[in-house]
Each structure stands twice: as structure tokens, then as C-alpha cells.
Amino acid sequence: MLEPLVVGAIATNCWIVPLRPELHEPPWPRPCAVVDPGGDAPSIIARLRRLRSRPAMVLLTHGHFDHLAALPELLAAFRDDGEPPVVAIHLADAAYLGPQAKAAHLRDFALAGAAEYVRGLWRPMPTATRYLAEGDLIGPFRVLHLPGHTPGSIALLQEGEGILFSGDTLFAGGVGRTDLPGGNAAALDRSLSRLLALPPRTVVHPGHGPSTRVERER
């Protein structure tokens, strides 16, 4: 069962997605994907432990700090629990991870008047272990590259389930901002057109706020 958490100072939706939901018996822990661990690492870790799950992959819909602030602590918590999780982001947002990440995050949040938010929570960021591109398959998800909010924004589509994790591209009753570095309003419009062409009953789980359906946002 999909497990949502609202985390961090900007109320980011973090999602725990079972990767083998057909398993109803051990072995434990069950593998899962964590989408956008944006803060409150202890809460995410506690939920995973309660579910007897471990992250096989951490998927980032884009590189903004409010979608990955908990990543270092999350990886550390499961360091001794088997193979390290895949950390995946689109190549165009690669600068938000690795040794150059702090400068990128401070630049973005300084423009939003929130540099202290980054400084107060900062932990050194790992480098991605997989870079995503349009059409890639990772676990149960197909990657849709949706530039506009950031150059490397993506959505994760579970085609058989009719479920879309839209990041900060599409919200219930709104769309992502484009006034931060790398934002592009024309690109966002094109990306939104792609999403709104999906089947109308597609469930949209955005990066912030309540879930919706494609048909409600047309």
C-alpha cells in the first residue's frame, strides 16, 4: 500500500511505494521506493521500520532542497541493511547532489528568502548513482522529463496503476513556480500539456498539497 508522509518546513509530500506488493509473507524487509524525502528524516525512517521496509531506491522528482533534505540521514540509517539504495535524479538537476550541491541549494533558497532553512538542515549530499532520462524505466515507474520548474524536473508514472507522481510540475488547482534559477515558463507550459494529455482518471500525487486527477486539472 502506498504510504504518504508530509515532511519538512514546506510540507513536502514524501511517498513510500512498495516495489513488490504481491509479497504478503517474509522475507523481510520488503523493498520499496522512497520518492522525495524532503525533510523529517526520523519520521521517514520510523515509518519504514514500522512497515518492515527498506529503500531499494530513492527517486527525486527534482533537485530542490525541500524534496531531498532527508536524503543523507535516510541513507545513513540503512547503510548496514544490505545493498545501498539507488539514488536517482535527472541529469539536468545533477548539481543538486554531490560536492557542489550546497552552493546550488543556497543560491536557490537565497532568492526565495530562505537560505537559513538550507543552512540549518544541511548535511553533505551524496552523488546520484543513477541519472534518469525521458522514457527510462526504474522499478515500476516510467520517467517523464518535464522541464519548467527546474531543468531536470520529472514525473514518475505507474502506467498499469494509472498513478503519477508529479513533483512540483502539477498540483491540485495549481502549477509549479518558474521564478527560481533554471525555471522556464514556456517549458513548463509544454510539460503541463503532456501531463494533461494523460488518461483523465490518472491519479496525480503532487509534491505538495492534496492528490488530484488529470481530468480535474484540465
pLDDT at 28: 73
Length of the chain: 218
Residue 27, pLDDT score: 63
CA 124 to each of CA 9, 114, 193, 212: distance values in angstroms, whole numbers, following the listed order: 19, 18, 36, 34
pLDDT surpassing 60 at residue 24: no
CA-CA distance, 163 to 195, in Å (whole number)? 12
pLDDT in tens, 42-83: 999 999 999 999 999 999 999 999 999 999 999 999 998 888
User: Which residues have CB under 8 Å from 137's CB, separation 6+?
Assistant: 143
**pLDDT score of 104:** 96
- Specify the CATH architecture of the domain 3-217: 4-Layer Sandwich (3.60)
Taking the C-alpha atoms of residue 193 and residue 206, their distance in angstroms, rounded to an integer, is 16
pLDDT digits (tens, 9 = 90+) for 111-151: 888 899 999 999 999 999 999 999 999 999 999 999 999 99
Domain boundaries, the chain: 3-217
Amino acid 1: pLDDT: 79
Short-list 140, 15, 30, 117, CA closest to 65:
117
* 26 pLDDT higher than 70: no
Question: What is the rounded CA–CA span in Å between residue 57 and residue 11?
Answer: 22
Round to whole Å and give the CA distance between 210 and 218.
16
Q: How far apart are CA 98 and CA 69, in angstroms?
A: 13
**Global model pTM greater than 0.75:** yes
Dist. CA 197–CA 218, nearest whole Å:
9
Calpha distance 48→46 (Å, rounded) = 5
Please state, in angstroms and rounded to a whole number, the distance separating the CA atoms of residues 208 and 176.
10
Q: DSSP character for 125?
A: P
The set of cell numbers assigned to 60 is 527525486
Residues 146-189 have pLDDT tens digits of 999 999 999 999 999 999 999 999 999 999 999 999 999 999 99
- State how far the Cα of 19 lies from the Cα of 30, in Å rounded to an integer: 8
Whether the Cβ atoms of residue 18 and residue 1 lie closer than 8 Å to each other: yes
The mean pLDDT of the chain is 95
Least confident span in 29-33, 63-67, 92-96, 123-127: 29-33
Q: pLDDT value at position 29?
A: 86
